[in-house]
Amino acid sequence: MKITSSEFVISNQDVKRCPDSKLAEYAFIGRSNVGKSSLINMLTNKKSLAKTSGRPGKTQLINHFLINKSWHLVDLPGYGYARVSKTSKAKFQKFITNYFKQRRQLVCAFVLVDVRHEPQPIDTEFMEWLGENGIPFGIVFTKADKLKPNALERNVELYKKQLLDGVWEEVPPYFVTSSSHGNGKEELLNYIGEINDNLDN
């Protein structure tokens, strides 16, 4: 699948104000500063569709983008390490939870993980929460260009091993990406395209 059109729709903190449509939604979420905005811009071929920032915690709203006039890409606030007050953090953690539990249009979530680091409890615990709540998800490893091939493979295998040693019977679908080099773009978009095709049948 290729993205031929992408446009901003709405930002808000209230799930009830999300677009009133039946279009499938794919939510992107991850720790602060994981490279989420850069990944979204790479997927959509737009340099500034999603706002990028060196300051963790920049995204603090539910952001909807209409893709190819047929599905929504949803940019969600990062979790953990955001340099915001505890009150603000609690507030947007609550609407993240509400989004996942209440948004019926959600088809799949993508949990972004910085592949340069070994498995972090904050990521694996969030994946467990998604699993416990019956929310389909895939893992998107970001910043693959920052590692040499052997180190990259080692870190991905570490993640797979940890998941299989924990609560998972099989590793969720995963994609290894680089926003600066375009790695993983085709695989990730084709995966979304296949899901959309199956929804239409």
The DSSP code sequence of 140-166 is: EEE-GGGS-HHHHHHHHHHHHHHHHHT
Query: How high is the pLDDT of residue 57?
Result: 46
Q: Which residues of 172-198 are buried (b: 16+ CB within 10 A; e: fewer)?
A: bebbbbbbeeebbbeebbebbeebbee
Query: How high is the pLDDT of residue 125?
Result: 86
Q: Which two tokens stand for residue 87?
A: 């009150």
Ordered domains of the chain (ranges, CATH): 6-200 (3.40.50.300)
Query: How high is the pLDDT of residue 58?
Result: 47
- CA dist 167 and 10 (Å) reads 36
**pLDDT < 70 stretches in the chain:** 51-59, 80-92, 201
DSSP helix/strand/coil, 76: coil
Q: Classify the C-alpha dihedral 190-125-56-116 as positive or negative.
A: negative
Contact 78, 57 (CB under 8 A): yes
